[in-house]
Amino acid sequence: MTESKNIEASGNSDSLPVLGDLSIAVFHDNFAQMGGAERVAEAIYEALPGADLLSTLSAPEILSKGLQSARITNTWMNRLPNKARLFRAYFLLYPFAVDHVDLSAYDLIISSCFGYAKGVRRRAGAVHVCYCHTPMRWVWRTEDYLSREKNGYLKSLLLSLPLKWLKRWEIGAATRPDFYIANSRVVAARLKSSFGVEAEVIPPPIDTARFSPTKKTPEPEREEYYLILSRLVPYKRFDLAIQACSQTNRRLVVIGGGPDRKRLEEMAGPSVKFLGRAPDEVVTQYVQHCEALLFPGEEDFGMTPLEVNSAGRPVIAFAAGGATETIVDGLNGVFFDEASVSSLIDAMDRFEKMAWDEAAIQRHAATYDIKVFQERITEFARNALSKRSFHP
């Protein structure tokens, strides 16, 4: 098995390869949704002028303006029906598509991966860097992934054999990158335990200008409120936040749609307001004026808390996963230690007795700015290329 080595900045950067002189491919799993992983892929692509952007399939209508204007080269999977809705159902097809992508023309390949992209092959003498959000959750944490789904137990039985095959494929595919980048220390540890590879941690980027309080908007509500800003899916545990606010009559605004919305609405009291999906200007208003973002789930990283921090607003988060790496209790947020309503209520009580320094919260968020991320990615790539003689 090829061991992925850490890349450390060393020596004079002027002696490192010039990326503009090389042929570069950025390959993302799929562009069937517009979430944090897609924003990372976009930031990597924009950091590498002249690079080509590739994927298994794309649904341009749901992508950002930047990705809509990019020329994305897709595999045969792009011709599959209802790809924006059924892309998860095609999970067994991705390995076949990725295995046969021809990237022989490229000197540098950066795969942006939460599932399959790590499996692309390079030619001899080229370098493959994988920016990994996580090993496949549905393969390594199947019960956890399906536990709160409808008929999750039945699904796990039906999927057991295909997922065993997919796990074997991923273990083999994980040997193809020469170097790994993880989005958090949590994921770096997971890569080590799953594949035996080392990964340098470069956190995902945030757009600190998006919610900047220098462009202050009118207050959207007359009363103080907490905020949820996310796709509404069960594993994010927004049920805890809704029950906590309903029981204590705290106002809560929920922005976002998803399969869990109906269930959450049924448990919500009158102090909880659902806006659904909202335009950017409305989101900005609610972010800038919220008391705090509620972040009750466990994420591998979690970009939304830092985006809200960039507006100077704090976060109340569950003390697990990537949040423990980005939130400093008392500086830009507070933690609750148990995944329970009572623990969250205790944290909200504590939060409301504390004073918050908006400027300090912003300074913390600025260390994750997109420009910082892009500088680190390009430096990592140049260092990786300088070592390509070790990778035939």
315 and 299 housed in the same domain: yes
pLDDT of residue 35: 85
pLDDT of residue 151: 46
Detail the DSSP E strand segments found in the chain. 24-28, 52-55, 72-74, 108-113, 127-132, 179-182, 200-201, 226-229, 252-255, 272-276, 293-295, 315-318, 333-336
Half-sphere exposure of 202 (CA within 13 A, CB side): 29
How many C-beta neighbours within 10 Å does residue 282 have? 14
220 and 317 housed in the same domain: yes
pLDDT of residue 361: 97
199 and 286 housed in the same domain: no
Residue 152 lies in a domain: no
Residue 5 lies in a domain: no
pLDDT of residue 127: 96
350 and 377 housed in the same domain: no
283 and 323 housed in the same domain: yes
333 and 350 housed in the same domain: yes
Domain of 81: which CATH number? 3.40.50.2000
Instruction: Report how far residue 220's alpha carbon sits from residue 218's, in angstroms, rounded to the nearest whole number.
Output: 6
Number of domains the chain is built from: 2
123 and 180 housed in the same domain: yes
Instruction: Report how far residue 280's alpha carbon sits from residue 63's, in angstroms, rounded to the nearest whole number.
Output: 14
- Global pTM reads 0.84
pLDDT of residue 280: 85
Residue 237 lies in a domain: yes
pLDDT of residue 16: 54
Contact (Cβ atoms closer than 8 angstroms) between residue 256 and residue 282: no
pLDDT of residue 11: 40
pLDDT of residue 189: 95
pLDDT of residue 142: 66
Q: Domain limits at 275?
A: 213-366
pLDDT of residue 389: 53
Q: Which stretches of the chain drop beneath a pLDDT of 50? A: 1-13, 148, 150-151, 154, 390-391
Quick one: which of 367, 329, 371 has its CA closest to 350? 329
Quick one: which of 208, 206, 209, 190 has its CA closest to 198? 190
238 and 128 housed in the same domain: no
Map tokens 């095959």 to a residue: 165
351 and 285 housed in the same domain: yes
